[in-house]
Amino acid sequence: MEGAYIAVNLSDQIGSILRYFNLQESFGNAITDNASENAAYLDLLGAELFIDTRKRHVRYIGYVINLIAQQVLFGSNMESFEESITDVTAVEAELHAWRQKGPISRLHNLIRYIYASEQRRSLFLQVQRDQLEAMRSERLRGQDAYELKHNNLTRWNSWYDVAERALDLRYAVDDTVNRELEPYYQKLARFNMRNSQSAVPPKEPSLLLDRLNNDD
């Protein structure tokens, strides 16, 4: 009933404003997202103004496109996916859940890894300063280092912004990942040189599973 209560209150308030300024006849179209509360509100407002608001209810195309884009990236059950990771407390379990969604989600894990500590973030920025300027996109040649962008499930186009910035800085991302994996590769090389059945191979870091290749 909460949605209906909100709709009634909004209808009373906006209806009163329209009547006070004598704007009933000027009512055109209402543009909203697809929330059911908006449709309920317009039904009530239409009854007050004696107009058929259902014929004047325009669904905001940007909202619809954003929903379609999220389905393309994450599948049709994005809401259940979000709920499944909300209650996860184990970092590895959460990383694994994201990893199942493809390249864009592995990028999410990489960005999270880089910004999980100030030391890694500083390394990422320093890598950019050490690289040739030509290794960056032309969009990012105004300063010596740039930050990666973070996704926000409630901000439209955030995934596009995340991917675009990561592509512009792809060499810095790859270099940072390789430097972070260097200790593992050194341990693996020593393990292979021992050639002993009793030796225990080094544990693969989860970062290894989130690396992105050219196809990604």
Domain end position, chosen among 31, 59, 87: 59
Low-confidence stretches of the chain (pLDDT < 70) are 1-12, 74-100, 153-154, 195-198
* The pLDDT value given to residue 26: 79
What is residue 1's predicted lDDT score, i.e. its pLDDT?
A: 40
The answer to whether 107 and 151 have CB atoms below 8 angstroms apart is no
Is the same domain home to 43 and 80? no
Residues 6+ apart with CB under 8 A from 194: none
Please give the DSSP secondary-structure letter assigned to residue 60: -
Question: Does some domain include residue 216?
Answer: no
Beta-bridge mates of residue 196: none
Q: Which of 15, 31, 59 is the last residue of a domain?
A: 59
Go through the chain and tell me how many residues it has.
216
Indicate whether 21 and 93 sit together in one domain.
no
Residues 38 and 99 in one domain: no
Instruction: Assess whether 94 and 201 both reside in one domain.
Output: yes
- The Cα 42–Cα 209 span in angstroms is 49
| Residue partners of 84: CB distance under 8 A and separation at least 6 | 97
In a shared domain, residues 71 and 162 = yes
Final residue belonging to a domain, choices 39, 59, 79: 59
Residues 83 and 17 in one domain: no
Q: How far apart are the first and last CA of the chain?
A: 46
Residues 41 and 90 in one domain: no
Assess whether 90 and 52 both reside in one domain: no
On whether both 95 and 9 belong to a single domain, the answer is no
Question: Is residue 184 in a domain?
Answer: yes
Q: Is residue 215 part of a domain?
A: no
Number of domains in the chain: 2
Residues 75 and 52 both lie in one domain = no
SS3 54: helix
Domain limits at 126? Answer: 67-210
- What pLDDT was estimated at residue 4? 47
Q: What is the DSSP string of 145-208?
A: --PPP---TTSTTHHHHHHHHHHHTHHHHHHHHHHHHHHHHHHHHHHHHH--TTPPPPPPPGGG
Say what the pLDDT of residue 6 is: 45
Q: Are residues 53 and 106 located together in one domain of the fold?
A: no
Clarify whether residues 128 and 203 are in a common domain: yes
Query: What is the residue-averaged pLDDT of the chain?
Result: 79
- At 33 the pLDDT is 76
